[in-house]
Homo-oligomer: A and B are copies of this chain.
Amino acid sequence: MSYTEYKLRLTKIADISYTAALLSWDQETYMPEKGAGFRAQQIATLSALAHGQSTSAELGDILNSLNKSGNELSEKEKRNVARSLKDYTKQKKYSTEFVERLSRTASECFQAWQKAKKENNFSLFAPLLETMVDLKKQEAELLGYEAHPYNALLDQYEPGATVAALDILFKDVREQMVDFVKQIAAVPKPDDGFMYRHYPKEKQWNHGLDLLKQMHYDFEAGRQDISIHPFTTSFNALDVRVTTKILEDNLKSMIWSCIHEGGHGLYEQGLPSGEYGLPSGEAISLGIHESQSRLWENNVGRSLPYWKANYKNLQSLYPENLGKVSLEQFYRAMNRVEPSFIRIEADELTYHFHILVRYDVEKKLIGGELKVKELPEYWNACYKEYLGVNVPSDDKGVLQDIHWSHGSFGYFPTYSLGSFYAAQFFHRASLEIKGLENQIEQGNLLPLLEWLREKIHRHGKFYSAEELCTQVTGEKLNFKYFMDYAKNKYSTIYNLKKEAV
């Protein structure tokens, strides 16, 4: 059993999986509406094929044999085999019947969620969500776990993440951020009305492409299109696609979704294309992926240096809207902090309270401490407690996100992990890249990208998230970097006294 044979098999599986990804990309961008039925069937067939090949006895033999005879392999090869064997063992735990049930429930649950959200009626969603939660509990049992069943689900998105560690992390979030946000809430908010004037679609589209070009997103190895919800997908490191959404009455939507997805896209473009289909050619985890999008979106894209480079151009694009708005006003407006009840519209601070609520709810649902029927009341109480807002209705509350209808329990925490990793990475980059701030002020983003390529992208999944973080920053994930970043930035914006912070 040779490593070459292993590579060949993983390459074929990748061909199938990435092709399924193209089916999905097309579904979200260009597919005519009547094509939906057959498309769902085509995606299901491709997914089943990939699953079949990922769990074949032949692959199992190759992996076990290579894993034993490991001393002939390089360190990278050993790690690839070990990770593939772990994936294989996990995949083998699913019966075809269970996979089918999960997939059928997910599509029924999604239909119910859509209807429930549209009609603002949680009871239409509740029965199917209950079935879904039951299935996810079964999935946790079937996968196995230590300490808490939710750990099995977390591990799907963020290998190594545990309730024990996240409890500590979100305790820090609560203890350190609640007061800080209260201080901000006590002072007048910057005006951001000019963000909601009329911004023509075509101009925004061209501007978005320029933003990506400035980030050195490679348009010979990628493209941007329009979709209802922005996303990034990849068919290999040389064909990475981002999408954006343009609202003519909201400048913020396109700019920061574009930079955000661009960050995801740069990570995918930076993965080694020679390792196609192997763990060493893949992203580490959703948390690390999100660290790349958040770093560009927030640490770069919502920073003063970035807009020192770019604001004049933006003003010249929309003189009627921004001609009289100063850079300072624009910077303060984009960083307006205000508790709200919709996650995807939240600022970069209160955003984490939204995640905290979802983490708490998921953990309790999977742990059996919370019942589906108790969800709306519990949700609203949490929003009152952590964000101080009264949720006006379930469609703007517990029904707002698509994730649970898909069965994605354990996904939300990776959004916060991403922001926290981003702050820690960016802090390190600032120490290691000479004059980084100055370069950003000049609109030169290449040194930062090169640093990310060197330190993070090129390694694929060679390191675990924790190993990578230690390797790059000298320590494990530490929430302090995010809080330092937040306090520095927002104390200045809101003129908070340093001693009060």
Is A222 part of the contact surface with B, judged by Cβ < 8 Å?
yes
Is A338 part of the contact surface with B, judged by Cβ < 8 Å?
no
Q: Which of A17-52 contact B (CB under 8 A)?
A: 18-20, 22-23, 26, 30-35, 37-39, 41-42, 45-46, 49
Is A386 part of the contact surface with B, judged by Cβ < 8 Å?
no
CB of A377 to closest CB in B, whole Å? 36
Give the copy number. 2
User: Are B49 and A236 within 8 A (Cβ)?
Assistant: no
CB of A367 to closest CB in B, whole Å? 36
Residues in B neighbouring A15, C-beta threshold 8 A: 41-42, 45-46
User: Are A45 and B16 within 8 A (Cβ)?
Assistant: yes
Of B37, B42, B225, B239, the contact of A18 (CB 8 Å cutoff): B42
User: Are A221 and B34 within 8 A (Cβ)?
Assistant: yes
Of B19, B45, B220, B238, the contact of A12 (CB 8 Å cutoff): B45
User: Are A239 and B39 within 8 A (Cβ)?
Assistant: yes
Residues in B neighbouring A12, C-beta threshold 8 A: 45
Is A223 part of the contact surface with B, judged by Cβ < 8 Å?
yes
Alpha-carbon separation in the docked complex, A15 to B236 (Å): 22
Residues in B neighbouring A18, C-beta threshold 8 A: 38, 42
User: Are A236 and B35 within 8 A (Cβ)?
Assistant: yes
Residues in B neighbouring A225, C-beta threshold 8 A: 30
User: Are A32 and B236 within 8 A (Cβ)?
Assistant: no
User: Are B238 and A42 within 8 A (Cβ)?
Assistant: no
Is A3 part of the contact surface with B, judged by Cβ < 8 Å?
no
Residues in B neighbouring A39, C-beta threshold 8 A: 235, 239
Is A218 part of the contact surface with B, judged by Cβ < 8 Å?
yes
Of B26, B32, B218, the contact of A222 (CB 8 Å cutoff): B32
CB of A121 to closest CB in B, whole Å? 22
Is A276 part of the contact surface with B, judged by Cβ < 8 Å?
yes
Is A196 part of the contact surface with B, judged by Cβ < 8 Å?
no
Alpha-carbon separation in the docked complex, A32 to B273 (Å): 15
Residues in B neighbouring A33, C-beta threshold 8 A: 220
User: Are A19 and B32 within 8 A (Cβ)?
Assistant: no
Alpha-carbon separation in the docked complex, A35 to B221 (Å): 6
User: Are B32 and A239 within 8 A (Cβ)?
Assistant: yes
Q: Which of A197-253 contact B (CB under 8 A)?
A: 218-223, 225, 235-236, 238-239
Residues in B neighbouring A218, C-beta threshold 8 A: 34
Alpha-carbon separation in the docked complex, A329 to B438 (Å): 66
User: Are B42 and A19 within 8 A (Cβ)?
Assistant: yes
Alpha-carbon separation in the docked complex, A30 to B12 (Å): 23
CB of A237 to closest CB in B, whole Å? 9
Bitwise interface map of A from 438 to 479 toward B, beta carbon under 8 Å scored 1, else 0: 000000000000000000000000000000000000000000
User: Are B38 and A276 within 8 A (Cβ)?
Assistant: yes
Q: Which of A256-291 contact B (CB under 8 A)?
A: 273, 276
Of B16, B38, B276, the contact of A49 (CB 8 Å cutoff): B16
Alpha-carbon separation in the docked complex, A220 to B235 (Å): 27
User: Are A238 and B37 within 8 A (Cβ)?
Assistant: yes
User: Are B236 and A38 within 8 A (Cβ)?
Assistant: yes
Alpha-carbon separation in the docked complex, A41 to B19 (Å): 11
Alpha-carbon separation in the docked complex, A34 to B221 (Å): 5
CB of A426 to closest CB in B, whole Å? 28
Alpha-carbon separation in the docked complex, A45 to B12 (Å): 7
Of B35, B46, B235, the contact of A38 (CB 8 Å cutoff): B235
User: Are A26 and B26 within 8 A (Cβ)?
Assistant: yes
Query: Which chain B residue lies CB-closest to A13?
Result: B45
User: Are A223 and B49 within 8 A (Cβ)?
Assistant: no
Residues in B neighbouring A19, C-beta threshold 8 A: 19-20, 23, 42, 45-46
Residues in B neighbouring A219, C-beta threshold 8 A: 32
User: Are B38 and A221 within 8 A (Cβ)?
Assistant: no
Given contacts A15-B45, A22-B22, A49-B49, contact A30 B235 (CB under 8 A): no
Alpha-carbon separation in the docked complex, A19 to B22 (Å): 9
Alpha-carbon separation in the docked complex, A273 to B239 (Å): 32
Bitwise interface map of A from 414 to 428 toward B, beta carbon under 8 Å scored 1, else 0: 000000000000000
Q: Which of A12, A225, A238, A273 has the most CB of B within 10 A?
A: A238
Residues in B neighbouring A26, C-beta threshold 8 A: 22, 26
Residues in B neighbouring A235, C-beta threshold 8 A: 35, 38-39, 42
Given contacts A32-B239, A35-B239, 20 further A-B contacts (CB under 8 A): A12-B45, A15-B41, A19-B19, A19-B42, A19-B46, A22-B22, A26-B26, A30-B30, A30-B225, A31-B239, A33-B220, A34-B220, A34-B239, A35-B235, A35-B236, A38-B235, A38-B238, A38-B239, A39-B239, A49-B49
Give the 6 A-B CB pairs with smallest separation, nearest first: A35-B239, A15-B45, A38-B236, A34-B238, A34-B221, A15-B42
Q: Please list 6 pairs of residues, one from A and one from B, whose beta carbons are closer than 8 Å in the complex, sorted by A's number.
A: A11-B41, A15-B42, A15-B46, A34-B220, A38-B238, A42-B235
